[in-house]
Amino acid sequence: MCLAIPGKVVDAFDQNGMRMAKVQFGGIIREACLEYVPDTKVGEYVLVHVGFAISKVDEEEAARTYQLLEEMDQLTELMAPVVNERGGEEEGP
Amino acid sequence: MKYLDEYRDGKIARKIVDEMHRIQTQPWVIMEVCGGQTHSIVKNGIDHLLPEGVELVHGPGCPVCVTPLEMIDKAHAIARRPEVIFCSFGDMLRVPGSDGDLFTIKSQGGDVRVVYSPLDCLKIARANPEKRIVFFAIGFETTAPANAMLAWRARQEGLKNVSLLVSHVLVPPALAAILSSPLNRVQGFLGPGHVCAVMGYEEYEPISEKFRVPIVITGFEPLDILQGTLMTIRQLETRRAEVENEYSRILDRAGNLPAQKLVASVFSTGDRKWRGIGMIPNSGYHLRPEFEDHDAERLFDVAQIDTQEPAICISGEILRGLKKPRDCPAFGTLCTPQRPLGATMVSAEGACAAYYAYGRHLQGSGSVDVPVHSIGAA
């Protein structure tokens, strides 16, 4: 569970005083916190671990790593339910 | 997609292995630290590609595996309470405690929720002010910045109903503990890439120097692991003992400074028990006193739980590189991922579970003639 998953930042915004992003992983989009990589811009790629970007990566690295993680069946954390602002659970993406 | 093939190109792999053959003059034992690396090695049969005499042993780098049974039982006791919403990463739900797992508790009416990010707990807490939200904060240094942010934000927002059951572990003290053992066999390490993406690798330098061992910070892709192993063998053969960075496309010596800063504001280091290994001094994170209102261990009066691990389980010796899964008489028979007896079988990233997943329990013991399908097959 310590492997971070690369994805593309498709939106960046402030929410509850935190820098947040929507990050695309293959066909899945999830929210991620950008507080630890604050200069990240839309269109860039980041390594995300449990909802936090921990470093930037380039596009080639991201594509290759993502495919390897998929083959290793290491993408299941992305399937965790989405918790909405009302604290309720929606279906996983 | 040329670049997708580069890191598992059979020709490059062969070149690296040829170079290992060329420089290697004696047997070496090298430990990969990270559970993701173990998984990749077993899946791709990388250990079987190496020259005879270069042995990869599998380290303690799976946080789910090394979370002590007492802590799991404590989590379960808290999760059973009617006023609690217990939140956890998905990996922990199937890990059995002394009496069932979190799924069992959920099926018996406990409010157990899988979260993607620790920050999800904040949303759940805001929406359920009458409930107590407890997050099972496990992990290595990679996960610590995320878990630290939960504690930080809960305190900042005054969300008194959020607490963390912290069972965080740290890699460098575990390496020092392995090397300090009189039984130690490990002569070099493949360091954990994503842990070092957060922490950098400065703190590995005194360990490398003190114990005279090469530590090569390595990624988890097949060619990363081969390259990291070659770099380790090269150091061993030339009697060097340094920290080198195979994974420089992702990380540098300093790591992620904003993440380290927040982790240091929320956690202090202290002793921590590791499943299968026992107590390792200063090997864990604990919440600082400023966060005591969010410390589940303090808030929930859970009696000290005594647990007994099955005597047959050799996971402690596996985690220290002294034995392999197939040295265990229970491996694949009494002990399977469905009914794990110990640390290295409870998560897919544990050595025993990885060996089992890729059919190594079906091979005759000592067999190394496994075909390597993945490398070069892309």
pLDDT at residue B300 is higher than 90:
yes
**A53 Cα to chain B: minimum distance (Å):** 9
Please check whether residue B345 is in contact with residue B335, taking contact to mean a CB–CB distance below 8 angstroms: yes
Do B117 and A54 make contact, defined as CB atoms within 8 angstroms? no
Question: What whole-number percentage of chain A has pLDDT above 70?
Answer: 97
pLDDT tier at B364 (50, 70, 90 boundaries)? low
CA distance A47 to chain B (A): 9
Across the interface, do A50 and B143 touch by the CB < 8 Å criterion?
Answer: yes
Residue B374 lies in a domain: no
Strands (E), chain B: 28-34, 54-61, 84-88, 111-114, 132-139, 162-169, 188-192, 215-218, 243-245, 267-274, 278-287
B270: left (phi over 0), alpha (psi -120 to 50) or beta: beta
Whether B39 contacts chain A with CB within 8 A: yes
Question: Is 80 exceeded by the pLDDT of residue B91?
Answer: yes
The model's pTM is: 0.92
User: Closest partner residue to B250 among A55, A73, A86, by Cβ?
Assistant: A55
* A71 vs B contacts (CB less than 8 Å): 43, 374
Q: Which of A2, A35, A63 sits opposite B4 (nearest CB)?
A: A63
Residue B271's nearest CA partner among B287, B284, B258 is B284
- Cβ–Cβ < 8 Å for B114, B229: no
pLDDT computed for residue B126 by the predictor = 95
Instruction: Kindly tell me if the per-residue pLDDT of B97 is higher than 60.
Output: yes
* Cβ <8 Å between B139 and A32: no
**Domain A5-78 coded CATH 2.60.120.20:** no
User: Given a cut of 90, is residue B9 above it in pLDDT?
Assistant: no
For residue B63, count CB atoms less than 10 angstroms from its CB and return exposed for 0-12, middle for 13-18, buried for 19 or more: buried
Average pLDDT over residues B32-41: 93
CB contact B224 to A (< 8 Å): no
d(Cα B46, Cα B56) in Å, to the nearest integer?
9
Q: Is the dihedral of CA B214, B216, B220, B224 positive or negative?
A: negative
What pLDDT score does A79 carry?
86
Task: Provide the residue type at B284 as one letter.
Answer: G
pLDDT at B24: 97
Average pLDDT (B295-321) is 89
Model confidence at A31: pLDDT above 70: yes
Instruction: Name the pLDDT band for A38 (thresholds 50, 70, 90).
Output: very high
Asked whether residue B364 is domain-assigned, the answer is no
Distance of CA B3 to the CA centre of its chain: 28
Determine how many CB atoms are found less than 10 A away from the CB of residue B278: 10
> Between β-strands B215-218 and B243-245, what pairing exists: parallel, antiparallel or unpaired?
parallel
Question: Looking at residue A52, what DSSP letter applies?
Answer: E
Please give the share of chain B, as a percent, with pLDDT higher than 70. Answer: 94
Residue pair B239/B209 in contact (Cβ under 8 Å)? The answer is no
Residues in A touching B3 (Cβ below 8 Å): 60, 63-64
Q: Which domain holds residue B75?
A: 1-358
CB contact B61 to A (< 8 Å): yes
**What's the mean pLDDT in B13-36?**
96
Of A51, A55, A71, the CB nearest to B251: A55
Q: Is residue B102 part of a domain?
A: yes
Which of B2, B126, B142 should one mutate to test binding to chain A, selecting the residue with the greatest count of A CBs within 10 A?
Answer: B142
How far B123 CA sits from the closest chain A CA (Å)? 5
How far apart are the C-alpha atoms of B289 and B144, rounded to whole Å?
17
Lowest-pLDDT range of B282-286, B307-311, B367-371: B367-371
pLDDT of amino acid B371: 37
In chain A, what are the domain boundaries?
A: 5-78
pLDDT at B7: 56
- Quick one: pLDDT band at residue B10, thresholds 50, 70, 90? confident
- Short-list B324, B340, B297, CA closest to B64: B340
Binned at pLDDT 50, 70 and 90, residue B226 comes out as: very high
Helices (H), B128-273: 144-156, 171-180, 193-199, 205-211, 222-237, 257-266
DSSP, res A92: -
Give the residue-averaged pLDDT of B161-184: 97
**Partner residue facing A83 (CB), from B124, B221, B349:** B124
Q: Which residue from A50, A68, A87 is facing B117, i.e. has the nearest CB?
A: A50
The CATH number of whichever domain residue B296 belongs to comes to 3.40.50.11740
Q: What is the mean pLDDT of chain B?
A: 92
Predicted ipTM of the assembly: 0.93
E strand segments, chain A: 5-15, 18-25, 28-33, 45-49, 52-57, 82-83, 89-90
What mean pLDDT is predicted for residues B219-241? Answer: 96
| B201 pLDDT higher than 50 | yes
Provide, rounded to the nearest whole percent, the portion of chain B with pLDDT above 90.
84
Q: Report whether B13 contacts B226 (CB < 8 A).
A: yes
State pLDDT tens for residues B109-129: 999 999 999 999 999 999 999
Q: Nearest CA to B143 among B72, B192, B103, B204?
A: B192
Which residue would you say has higher pLDDT here, B273 or B362? B273
Cβ–Cβ contact B377 with A under 8 A:
no
Domain count, chain B: 1
Q: Exposed (0-12), middle (13-18) or buried (19+): which is A26, by Cβ within 10 Å?
A: middle
Q: What is the mean pLDDT of residues B302-309?
A: 80
Domain presence at residue B45 = yes
Distance from CA of B173 to the nearest CA of A (A): 18
**Token code pair at residue B378:** 């892309």
